Structure 1
């Protein structure tokens, strides 16, 4: 970073850019359809999500794939390139958690900026540059940095995420600590945590991920404990200056919008009970339902699909997609479940490459006993809210092709 850049006065703040012009969006719709649409998936939806050819049946969950918030974010990113054909366009991190979608944006010359921390790349931004804020949102200090540089801003933050921000800001205003159910290093949770500091920066938050974390905090709420041990355990998951003896007196629960609904509800219940046990009343506890509607719909649809007997379940999506990971967690409790990035992970009837959530790595597993031979087989397929239909189609085609069914038979549905 040059001295001139370091000492330059802040640029005037520009208003958010409206790129949703009718002429632009017509072109965007056509481009997005080319990249991500699937005629086969639409045909299966029209058939109730079930197709049987020969001795192979594929079931689609009733709700899967792109949600409205994701579609909007992608549309706005595509529109940005149409409205600013000659400008440099940058994206804070990834637009969504899907490698195929992010690859398409790179092909359009949209460059990802680091999202873990503000780097010198941000000092090089100019008034002519365009900054896309992803669907997860971005922490407040990132937004302030962009505003200082005077760049154009195209904000694709999901409306469900902004509802959570309003809730945690209110908590901070009322002197209530935000207990956030989420992954501390997830983009959305980091953005939410920054809003939990409030307008004056004096608010507080604590991020908890598991029921084990929750029980530890609940025990501290009821009985107190070793403050230093508490802070070591939750290092990186608390607001600056967090003191569990002070900041667990009045609490309000919020969450990363893509968490497992049942787990969030259980965490809410346990915190509620801990406050009531300590105080004899629950007046120091607040809660607000902030689970994303699309996340809930996809989880509910999978639970419904699991009532049908299936031989295996394929969950398609980016490995770093939180809502997709929770679909895998639901499925693997009932039947063999494979978390795949796309159809290329299905190598043959003898091998599937998939992401192991428990060991946090991609592994290769044999599954010949499930698909080899002539016996009837039923394969369930679902996908997270950030997975495009073209990847789901490719998975359907791959399953049928390995079972001896030609692609043309699916086209004739």
Structure 2
């Protein structure tokens, strides 16, 4: 019996209309929210009993996340009796990953992994998450003879293309990102995959300035390598490999910060080599994810409106969600929560503290009397979780959302 999926060099293609149509109802039942759609239709705002909730114009699942989830569901539908594996979290949202696990898809990494790479056999089906995977891991799976359901986001692959181009041209990739993040690990591996290219990951502007000073004035090589331990390629030498650089980025970083990283590095190269020679020493391409930027822009507009506090919903290890929380924290009381259960009462909320990297408790967070609450969510947060939070907010004021929508 022929499988409805097609196979090309180990990659399984599930994006046939008949297959994808068959999984839509299941995906929608798990993650869709009628309430959120009704609020959108009402101008992204709902009010009752002195409580007003304002939704950002863009929030929640992006196309890349929707595609990754669709493909994982499709894999289970097409291969109902086959063992399915996934390299790690499909996206950074605990509820979604729990749902994937509940479908019998075994995780190969993480704190709740169900299997090891050593368990894989030729022909086994492995799902590659939306972040992609590093070159070495993919090659190992190919050597085993595994088949792939590749859900890597197209925006991530665009960055890979740039990094590979840098590598072929002998340009060192300076990647603005988090060296420990799955996406940045996958991206940095591209620099070494098709040549002898090098990379260096910078996390923030402080690290960028350190690199800029080294470019212009030189410095202590051993100190440099200690500072960036785990964030550069094997054999990287700052005295050699910072002479010709190209900027790339983790797609979920703040656009403004990535642009500033690029600007500071560009200026350092001008100082070192002169503007007339800049083209020989510096490259830059805009590779910020469009959906990430849309959500940041929408939050910026929401923050211009009168708000008493902001709720940011999403997985605590989600990079794009963390940046939304940072934007809010710079302007008003902001609470980063992963689901409605964190709204314990109108006197107590449990939320993630970005500075301490842990969940904390805050009391008296929801003011009495009239209050305007802004709500946004990261690109990996499904609408049903947003609905749960909105319902909980009104419940804390003794208001039934169903009664409210009936008016």
User: By the TM > 0.5 criterion, same fold?
Assistant: yes
| Pairs within 5 Å for 1:356-371 | 356-368=353-365, 370-371=366-367
CA distance in 1, matches of 2:149, 2:206: 39
Instruction: From the superposition, tell whether residues 77 and 108 of structure 1 become closer, same or farther in structure 2 (CA, over 3 Å).
Output: same
Shift of 1:51: 1.0
CA distance in 2, matches of 1:90, 1:410: 44
Equivalenced residues, count: 397
Is 1:337 aligned to residue 334 of structure 2?
Answer: yes
Q: Deviations over 1:124-168 (max 9, x none)?
A: 211232100000000001100111111110000000000000000
What is the TM-score with the length of structure 2 in the denominator?
0.95
Residue pair 2:127, 2:151 contacting (<8 A) in 1 also: yes
Residue pair 1:13, 1:148 contacting (<8 A) in 2 also: no
CA distance in 2, matches of 1:348, 1:262: 36
Residue aligning to 2:391: 397
| Pairs within 5 Å for 1:150-189 | 150-189=145-184
Structure 1: which 5+ residue stretches go unaligned?
1-11
Is 1:384 aligned to residue 378 of structure 2?
Answer: yes
Residue aligning to 1:241: 235
Residue aligning to 2:138: 143
Q: Deviations over 1:345-384 (max 9, x none)?
A: 000010000000000100000135x333xx2110100000
Residue pair 2:49, 2:397 contacting (<8 A) in 1 also: no
Q: Deviations over 1:27-64 (max 9, x none)?
A: 21000111000000000111110111131100000000
CA distance in 1, matches of 2:49, 2:348: 22
Residue pair 1:14, 1:150 contacting (<8 A) in 2 also: no
Residue pair 1:58, 1:379 contacting (<8 A) in 2 also: yes
CA distance in 2, matches of 1:239, 1:151: 28
Shift of 1:385: 0.2
Residue pair 1:58, 1:381 contacting (<8 A) in 2 also: yes
After TM superposition, which residue ranges in structure 1, 4 or more long, deviate above 6 angstroms? Answer: none
Residue aligning to 1:4: none
Residue aligning to 1:347: 344
1:92 to 51, 74, 87: 87
| Pairs within 5 Å for 1:35-184 | 35-114=30-109, 121-184=116-179
SS of residue paired to 2:399: coil
CA distance in 2, matches of 1:218, 1:350: 47
CA distance in 2, matches of 1:232, 1:247: 16
Q: Which moved more, 1:289-298 or 1:124-133?
A: 124-133
Is 1:218 aligned to residue 212 of structure 2?
Answer: yes
Q: Deviations over 1:367-404 (max 9, x none)?
A: 35x333xx211010000000000000000000011012
Shift of 1:13: 8.7
Structure 2: which 5+ residue stretches go unaligned?
1-6
CA distance in 2, matches of 1:409, 1:378: 20
Residue aligning to 1:287: 284
Residue pair 2:107, 2:115 contacting (<8 A) in 1 also: no
SS of residue paired to 1:257: coil
CA distance in 2, matches of 1:412, 1:128: 53
CA distance in 2, matches of 1:32, 1:107: 14
Is 1:30 aligned to residue 25 of structure 2?
Answer: yes
Instruction: From the superposition, tell whether residues 160 and 103 of structure 1 become closer, same or farther in structure 2 (CA, over 3 Å).
Output: same
Shift of 1:25: 1.6
Residue aligning to 2:3: none
Residue aligning to 1:18: 13
Is 1:319 aligned to residue 316 of structure 2?
Answer: yes
Residue pair 1:13, 1:147 contacting (<8 A) in 2 also: no
Is 1:273 aligned to residue 288 of structure 2?
Answer: no
What is the TM-score with the length of structure 1 in the denominator?
0.94
Instruction: From the superposition, tell whether residues 376 and 111 of structure 1 become closer, same or farther in structure 2 (CA, over 3 Å).
Output: same
Residue pair 1:123, 1:149 contacting (<8 A) in 2 also: no
